[in-house]
Chains A and B, each alone.
Chain A
């Protein structure tokens, strides 16, 4: 894999592949969120959010700080329970399901603050994520040790492959805790891919990552979408990345979705400009 010479975020910008800007492809939604609300004490962190994410799209979720983006992520992936509303993934209602069950359906997330499992080797971080491992059940270790071993071999091969794609293979036996912040981001992304997701939710994937590693991550995102039709929904504050890498942008403010559309359309939307510059939310604290 050749490294892009990119050193500034602007240089990573490129048009979203395969789609004319502003033209929706009419794909069916993989994720449908209807009037989701979540309250913390007196604060409506998510206040009636409604949105769709098309299958095979790269969709950005943006908004000022405190808009409810991360809370919405947590509600979608089952970490918080929605007080109200429906969440459908591939047509299936998932609003009441626990996080592990949602992940098994094929919707996998990463975290804003990376959750690399620090006191486990990089390789174990990767292998952990693979689905359908018979060896994860004690009973199978006794009854089907062969099946457990076979799957373990497959999983290891797949992990080796992904680690080399992300150029982490030299670190495979290190504790994840010794990795740099950027390497942890890559590890978390690679680990999420081990889970064989249909849809990946990335919470600020570019935060704290150097431009070279960031470019590599974006490149993989586009390739996975192209080759496997994987869907991406990501929260990001870097507008160059948002505008250059998504087919659709969803804008949240104060717990609600205030605009949805192609990047160019959203950029010039008056409501969006108001939300970022005026409105009730704090101004000027965006990273």
Chain B
């Protein structure tokens, strides 16, 4: 089917297309769940999520490639490094007002990215870091053969990654959902509403904000692993602040303070971003890449106009104040 402008919809019936969109959406679901925890439920504005993703991905990659660590040992180690980095940023800056913290996080994330660009012996710089996915490939192969034994003759190469990404996203969403309904989550929301009120009632607001940031860093690192396995290499460009802001767009789309909205927003976002690749306009490729973000912008504007709380957000939580 071909339309006059040269838009084809063939891709939308292609299983491979949906597998790759699904992996991206799943990865960003995990990534954005951390933002949801911070922004939606704790009231701390974390602009450095791409930095945590970079730390997770690079720590794993470096430990496996340069230090011959086992992939499975490198994963938890990378999570720990990301959490430690989160605490390092959070301890001094979470005492400050929310906007200073936001600035500190974006700066920290840029430090990570620029370090990755320049510490070439370790990270390969802009040439990229390769060769960390061997152990994963074995797992992927056994999932593939499992699928084949179920009668699927020729599964997509990336389909096992798709399954694992979404299983992780689902488990993370469920965990966060139940944590939020616990007394722990209640304290977090109180900190979001009014830190001083929480402190006046005996709650150590700083400790809760640090926990929130640590969990976001963990989710960022997990997203980094999946990004790395999806690409099969690591490049500093993948961790630009833009990706944090795509996360924010996902957050706004799905709705603040709702964990289920995150997956929804991520799927919509990546369907738009990847789907628009197939629009064939008579302009240069760079301009066409810009058109994708124009469409994203348009969607967000329409959303703000007609449903400012996002698809799953609660209106009351937007309008009520002191």
Contacts and interface: CB of A to CB of B under 8 A. Distances in A.
Interface string A67-110: 00000000001010000000000000000001110011000111
A108 B184 contact: no
Interface residues of A, number: 39
Contact of B189 (A98, A109, A124, A136): A124
A127 B193 CA distance: 15
Contact of A120 (B179, B190, B199): B190
Given A100-B205, A138-B179, A118 B200 contact: no
A115 B196 contact: yes
B179 A195 contact: no
Interface string A150-178: 00100000000000000000000001011
Interface of B: 179, 182-184, 186-187, 189-190, 192-194, 196-205, 211, 316-317, 320-322
A177 B321 CA distance: 6
Contacts of B187: 128, 136
13 contacts: A79-B196, A99-B200, A108-B201, A111-B197, A111-B200, A113-B322, A120-B189, A129-B201, A136-B183, A136-B184, A136-B186, A148-B182, A195-B201
Contacts of A124: 186, 189
A265 to B, nearest CB: 33
Give the residue among B197, B201, B204 with the most A Cβ atoms within 10 A: B201
Contacts of B201: 100, 103, 108, 128-129, 191-192, 195
B203 A100 contact: yes
Contacts of A79: 196, 199-200
Interface in A257-279: none
A127 B186 contact: yes
Contacts of B202: 100, 103-104, 108, 129, 131, 195
A9 interface: no
Nearest to A177: B320
